[in-house]
Chain A
Amino acid sequence: KQEVTQIPAALSVPEGENLVLNCSFTDSAIYNLQWFRQDPGKGLTSLLLIQSSQREQTSGRLNASLDKSSGRSTLYIAASQPGDSATYLCAASITGTASKLTFGTGTRLQVML
Chain B
Amino acid sequence: DGGITQSPKYLFRKEGQNVTLSCEQNLNHDAMYWYRQDPGQGLRLIYYSQIVNDFQKGDIAEGYSVSREKKESFPLTVTSAQKNPTAFYLCASSKIQGYTEAFFGQGTRLTVV
Contacts and interface: CB of A to CB of B under 8 A. Distances in A.
Interface in B33-69: 33, 35, 40-45, 48, 50
B15 interface: no
Given A41-B109, A99-B95, A46 B103 contact: yes
Interface stretch (A14-22, A63-71, A75-83, A103-111): A103-111
A44 B90 contact: yes
Task: Categorize the interface residue count of chain A.
Answer: 20 to 34
A93 B100 contact: yes
Interface of A: 4, 31-32, 34, 36, 41-46, 49, 51, 89, 91, 93, 98-101, 103-106
Nearest to A90: B42
B106 A42 contact: yes
B107 A99 contact: no
17 contacts: A31-B100, A42-B107, A43-B107, A44-B90, A46-B103, A46-B104, A89-B43, A93-B100, A98-B100, A99-B50, A99-B94, A99-B97, A99-B100, A100-B45, A101-B33, A101-B45, A103-B43
